[in-house]
């Protein structure tokens, strides 16, 4: 049976994608290897499922739809740039959430619980709302310069309307992942909701 690399996400609109591409240009350090997230792939992951057998996808879709029931569309703001585990040894470059953090956490918890009900393992780590913008592939001392640039960055993106959650397929290629929507769930009050 075929399987599909699957995750549940909130994809972010084109103006946010352009702002993230500009951010990547500003913090880039020549010679430091970073796999930057392609702007069109920019998203907030609510739940990563990994390889899901095709015959279990309907259970995923049903759990995500149920997890989004009664959840209202909301406004969100992205604010602050940081790195995991820290700025001295950045491995993952991220943008944080300010407004909308509670709504995103509530969606993630609801989706997590309903996916657990249909047999998907719960995440052991607590949910931390963030959007990954790059993964550092370098351990040279020059990585500290990247940390310095991240620390100096003051990104703030306001008024981002979130009105849907999507179950995404991730196809890994040599050039990076290709994402496609498998199922779209419109939140209450969102465009296209009944």
In a domain, 191, yes or no: no
Q: What is the pLDDT of residue 21?
A: 95
Q: Please give the share of the chain, as a percent, with pLDDT higher than 90.
A: 87
If you average pLDDT over residues 78-105, what whole number do you get? 95
Give the active site residues: 43, 130
Q: What is the pLDDT of residue 145?
A: 95
* Helix (H) or strand (E) run with residue 107 in it: helix 101-117
Q: φ and ψ at 85, to 5 degrees?
A: -75, -25
In a domain, 74, yes or no: yes
| 3-class secondary-structure state, position 191 | coil
In a domain, 68, yes or no: yes
> Can you tell me the distance from the alpha carbon of 16 to that of 11, in angstroms, rounded to the nearest whole number?
10
For the stretch 133-162, pLDDT in tens is 999 998 888 899 999 999 999 899 999 999
Give the total number of structural domains in the chain. 1
In a domain, 193, yes or no: no
Give the CATH number for residue 90: 3.90.1140.10
Average pLDDT, the chain: 94
In a domain, 7, yes or no: yes
- Asked if residue 8 lies in contact with residue 184, where contact means CB atoms within 8 angstroms, the answer is no
Domain that holds residue 34: 3-186
């Amino acid at each position: 049976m075929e399987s599909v690399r699957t995750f549940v996400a909130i994809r972010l609109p084109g103006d946010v994608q352009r702002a993230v591409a500009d951010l990547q240009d500003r913090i880039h350090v020549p010679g430091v290897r970073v796999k930057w997230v392609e702007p069109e792939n920019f998203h907030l992951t609510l739940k990563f499922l990994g390889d899901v057998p095709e015959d279990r996808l309907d259970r995923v879709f049903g759990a995500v739809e149920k997890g989004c029931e009664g959840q209202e569309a909301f406004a969100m703001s992205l604010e602050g740039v940081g790195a995991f585990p820290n700025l001295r040894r950045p491995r993952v470059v991220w943008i944080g959430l300010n407004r909308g953090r509670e709504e995103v956490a509530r969606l993630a918890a609801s989706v997590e619980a309903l996916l657990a009900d249909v047999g998907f393992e719960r995440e052991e780590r607590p949910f931390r709302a963030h959007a990954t913008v790059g993964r550092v592939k370098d351990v040279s001392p020059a990585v500290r310069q990247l940390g310095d640039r991240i620390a100096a960055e003051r990104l703030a993106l306001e008024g981002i309307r979130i009105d849907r959650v999507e179950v995404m397929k991730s196809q890994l290629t040599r050039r990076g992942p290709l994402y496609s929507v498998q199922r779209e769930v419109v939140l209450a009050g969102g465009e296209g909701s009944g």
